[in-house]
A and B are shown apart, each in its own frame.
Chain A
Amino acid sequence: MSWLAESLIRLLRGKAGEAAVVVRESEEYLIRFANDEVTVADSWRSYEAGVYLAKGRRVAVAGFSGSSEDILRQALSLAEALDKYPEDPYYVPLSPKGPRPFPNAARPFDLNKALDLVWEAIQAARAEGAERSAGALSYAVRSTHYADSLGNSMSYKDSAAVGVIRAFIGRDLAATWAAASRDYLSLGLKEAGARAASIAGAAKGLPLTRLENGNYRVLMSGLVLGHLMGYVISAWSSALNVLTGVSKYGPNDLGSEAASSLLTVYDLSLKEDRVGSAPFDYEGNPTNDTPVFEKGVLKSFLHNNRTAAKLGVSSTGNAAGPGGWTSPAPRHIGVAPGDMASDLDDALKELGKGVYIHNNWYTRFQNIREGVFSTVGRDVILVVEGGAPKYRARGVRIAERFDSLLRGVEALSKSAEQIHWWDMPYPATAPALALYGSLALAY
């Protein structure tokens, strides 16, 4: 039990009817590199506190980070202002149901070892034909403590490592691979470097073409699938968005066929080796591996206590972070694998004629409720004919609707892996490749 969580509750108990705090004490490290050299090495040691206060039906929430003295001072000032806050239409009393079992293990960080891993990855990319690489290795060790004014307390310790490498050939051929793990030593950054370079190499020598706007058969990597499913799940399955009309789904859509029968997507908040999972949420509730789509059927929304009370169900334990006190959110997107090849060359044969999109970024919405979005391809984009790359393309977007992403899946790779990088909204476990019969691409 953290002394800071305890001190906060002691301080707040008399000032608010109910108080819950979640204190996170973190050690984080980041090594960035570009042009095959290390550009910066960062380290952080910090306290963060999420504070939830209620008096009658008046509710205030806050996130504070900095020194413990500052956090205590600011929590007190929040409590003193509580009478000025409006009543909360979603108010429910605190009712933590306690944690799941959790391994509570984390390897300490060794900067020199991590620098060596980065160097090995750069060399592995070079050996596979990269002219230069950029990337990052990050590692965090965190202790998380929940305490409330009812006398409950619970804690866990976890870690998260993310390794990303983007291999470049010339100015505009590039490919990224990204891995996530609980342990920075088992990220496989070296293998990621070799893999990124070999994917970039697949476009070497291909003539550049301009893709016309239209519908194409599309093969996408797990980086793209994991990224897009993160947006679908957070926007459409957060129960707050369901209740307020921001999601396309209403409460009565549960049980309906909303996706291809090949598609099963979970929020893996409980599976302990997945980055982001946790034994309990910010309301002190046990987490779950929650099926959102199971073989295409819309099975569940993601709930905290507040949204669950409105819909007469139990929380799924998705009060993830201080924002989760208001809006439930996923922690780790799990897309179940299928039976297609995981090897790119084999899957390109499966694709036959179409487009391979290796990575994407900059997803923006015209309309979140309709799920109308576009996202820009980055890294290599291969135009494939007769099962083999014929051209490379630039400036290609997937310009689609969530519904097409959910319904249009034709095949998923057999192997799934844990991935995360800078422009993925959540860590994910996603099949290496996903095949779509028809997606709209735009320039």
Chain B
Amino acid sequence: MKPGLYDVVFSPELAGIFVHESVGHPFELDRIMGREGAEAGESYMSLEDLGKRIASEHVTIIDDPTIEAYGFYLVDEEGVPARPRRLIDRGVASEFLSNREYAAYVGRLSNAAARASEFDKEPIPRMSNTYLAPGDWDPEEIIRDTRRGIYVASYTEWNIDDRREYGRYGILEGYVIEDGELKEPVLGFIEAESRAFWSSVDAVGKDLKLYIGTCGKGNPSQGVPVTFGGPTFRARGIRVV
């Protein structure tokens, strides 16, 4: 397969890793304000980005601790009742993940993201269950609607820079799409620049699925149980190498 720009259809597994790495982490308010600067890093998002369009209208990304999954809780470590947080609402950055200290810096109230992995760790802003909200496409319909592109079913090695701008995701199982049908297998890497990537989404499926993971952040390092996921979706003009 020649490196270049392709229309790519991603499975729920890929939706999960994308929302976690390129939206969940950079929406942590302590990170945006520099507290993790020497460790987990900072963010491509800034306080001024709140209320601005950073993704296409098809993209709504929610972090919801009240879903009874691996990242579940009803009250955070600072005593604040948990609720769903719409990080991106129809393409617009609408809420950062905050604890009480960082919410106060920006004149808001905490949205109950303060979590500590163990008794001997301080509570800091974290994700819980993060997902791309389902749209109204059947997943098969998205593939049928793609004239020439790639379908990525699963990923292998992945990583992202410490401002969460430049992600790279290895294709473990992927196929060429030709005239709406899956053809021969492909290997390679997806290069995803976070804002451009989410701005290019034009179809979101109904088939929401969550995957578990242990999310790392903080010093000393804290691994907290989370889920991440989404439905099958398509992004146009994605660099595949």
Contacts and interface: CB of A to CB of B under 8 A. Distances in A.
Interface of A: 30, 32, 34-35, 39-40, 42, 44, 46, 65-66, 132, 134-136, 164-166, 168, 171-172, 174, 176, 213, 361-367, 372-378, 394-395, 397, 421-423, 442-443
Contacts of B36: 34, 134
B161 A394 contact: yes
6 contacts: A134-B35, A171-B42, A176-B38, A361-B162, A362-B160, A377-B161
Main secondary structure of the interface of B (DSSP, over half): loop
Contacts of A374: 157, 159, 168
Nearest to B191: A443
Interface string B131-160: 000000000000000000000000011111
What size tier do the contact residues of chain B reach? 20 to 34
B34 A373 contact: no
A422 B221 contact: yes
B221 A35 contact: no
B157 A135 contact: no
A429 to B, nearest CB: 21
A376 B162 contact: yes
B117 to A, nearest CB: 13
Contacts of A367: 156
A135 B38 contact: yes
A165 B159 contact: no
A135 B42 CA distance: 13
Contacts of B170: 366
Nearest to A176: B38
B161 A443 contact: no
Interface in B191-231: 191, 193, 219-221
Contacts of B162: 361-362, 376, 378
Main secondary structure of the interface of A (DSSP, over half): strand
A213 B189 CA distance: 11
Contacts of A363: 159
Contacts of B28: none
Contacts of A365: 157
Given A30-B220, A376-B162, A442-B241, A165 B157 contact: no
Contacts of A34: 33-38
B161 A166 contact: no
Given A365-B157, A422-B219, A422-B221, A443 B166 contact: yes
B163 interface: yes
A421 B219 CA distance: 10
Interface in B34-87: 34-42, 46
Contacts of B42: 171
A422 B33 CA distance: 19
Contact of A395 (B122, B158, B165): B165
Nearest to A196: B38
B189 A442 contact: yes
B161 A378 contact: yes
Contact of B160 (A42, A376, A423): A376
A364 B159 contact: yes
A376 B189 CA distance: 14
Residue of A39, A135, A375 ringed by the most chain B CB atoms within 10 A: A39
Given A422-B221, A442-B168, A165 B34 contact: no
A364 B159 CA distance: 7
B120 interface: yes
Nearest to B124: A40
Nearest to B241: A213
A94 B158 CA distance: 42
Nearest to A366: B157
A442 B191 CA distance: 10
A267 B28 CA distance: 38
A242 B215 CA distance: 29
A346 B35 CA distance: 34
Contacts of A395: 161, 165-166, 193
Given A213-B241, A443-B166, A42 B38 contact: no
Contacts of B41: 361, 378
Contact of A443 (B37, B40, B168): B168
B161 A30 contact: no
A443 B193 CA distance: 10
Contacts of B39: 136, 422-423
B158 A394 contact: no
Given A30-B220, A40-B122, A165 B38 contact: yes
B85 to A, nearest CB: 23
A20 B3 CA distance: 57
Contacts of A134: 34-38
